């Protein structure tokens, strides 16, 4: 029996991080945490409170005050009865659908760039991760949230491949957004994520690179198992 570890999966948006992270969490019997969903839930909260103006300027002071209220807004993950998918809840409401819309995708990078938001989310993630035995996907898990994670993977793929994947995913959920708009959104988010002042998206020096532009999910899991064997991790 080996002790449970933290696996940090970072990378660009729509690289299939969540699909990969869920698959390896299942393989190891670990909990999967989608940290982007937490930023999306904060974005939804900000929109609902009217803290986001039309040009995506955020009233950071008011949002900061709301996030530090006592009790704080409650963002959590629950497993749904059918199929065991993880769903995001905000103050007792299932918001899994609402946080995946293009409107929230357009505002979330601006929200995630705010230090007050990152402090709030980081605190929640460290609480969850303290139990270990987790796979977390995000942008700064291996660099800022858990720099001591035992295994770090940085995922990437070409913008066109990622836009096609996100477009298909949205269509399957009945959201009809043009491919060009999805591609532009991905490029814009890459830029904001990589250039923000607080915890910008960057590969940790000790992270292993996974470019999955031409890989199936099955191939990625095989690649991962091979990595565990080489590192003598998780009983492999």
Q: Using CB under 6 A, list all residues that contact ligand DC.
A: 13, 35-36, 39-40, 108-109, 112, 138-141, 189, 193
Closest by CA position to 73, among listed 90, 94, 95, 49: 90
CB-based burial label for 131 (10 Å; 0-12, 13-18, 19+): exposed
The least distance separating ligand DC from the CB of residue 43, rounded to whole angstroms, comes to 8
The least distance separating ligand DC from the CB of residue 100, rounded to whole angstroms, comes to 8
Output 211 or 225, the one with its CB closest to ligand DC.
Answer: 211
- CA 216-220-221 angle, to 5 degrees, is 120
Output 66 or 88, the one with its CB closest to ligand DC.
Answer: 88
The least distance separating ligand DC from the CB of residue 104, rounded to whole angstroms, comes to 9
Output 17 or 30, the one with its CB closest to ligand DC.
Answer: 17
Nearest 10 degrees: CA dihedral of 195, 107, 20, 134? Answer: 90
Name beta bridge partners: 32: 135
CB count in 10 Å sphere of residue 28: 20
The least distance separating ligand DC from the CB of residue 15, rounded to whole angstroms, comes to 9
Output 90 or 112, the one with its CB closest to ligand DC.
Answer: 112
Output 109 or 212, the one with its CB closest to ligand DC.
Answer: 109
Q: Where are the beta strands (DSSP E) in the chain?
A: 6-11, 31-34, 75-79, 86-90, 93-94, 134-138, 151-156, 208-211
Output 35 or 220, the one with its CB closest to ligand DC.
Answer: 35
The least distance separating ligand DC from the CB of residue 14, rounded to whole angstroms, comes to 7
The least distance separating ligand DC from the CB of residue 99, rounded to whole angstroms, comes to 8
Place of tokens 């402090």: 119
């Amino acid at each position: 029996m080996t002790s449970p570890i933290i696996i940090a999966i970072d990378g660009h948006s729509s690289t299939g991080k969540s699909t990969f992270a869920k698959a390896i969490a299942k393989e190891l019997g670990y909990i999967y945490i989608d940290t982007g969903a937490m930023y999306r839930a904060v974005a939804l909260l900000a929109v609902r409170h009217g803290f986001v103006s039309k040009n995506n300027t955020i009233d950071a002071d008011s949002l900061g005050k709301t996030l530090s209220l006592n009790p704080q807004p409650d963002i959590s993950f629950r497993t749904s009865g059918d199929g065991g998918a993880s769903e995001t809840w905000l103050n007792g409401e299932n918001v899994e659908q609402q946080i995946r819309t293009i409107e929230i995708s357009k505002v979330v990078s601006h929200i995630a760039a705010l230090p007050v938001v990152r402090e709030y989310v980081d605190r929640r993630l460290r609480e969850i991760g303290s139990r270990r035995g987790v796979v977390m996907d995000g942008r700064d898990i291996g660099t800022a949230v858990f720099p001591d994670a035992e295994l770090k993977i940085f995922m990437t793929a070409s913008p066109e491949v990622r836009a096609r994947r996100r477009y298909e995913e949205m269509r399957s959920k009945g959201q009809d957004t043009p491919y060009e708009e999805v591609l532009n959104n991905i490029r814009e988010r890459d830029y904001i994520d990589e250039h923000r002042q607080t915890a910008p998206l960057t590969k940790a020096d000790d992270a292993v690179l996974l470019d999955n532009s031409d890989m199936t999910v099955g191939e990625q899991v095989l690649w991962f198992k091979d990595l565990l064997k080489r590192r003598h991790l998780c009983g492999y």
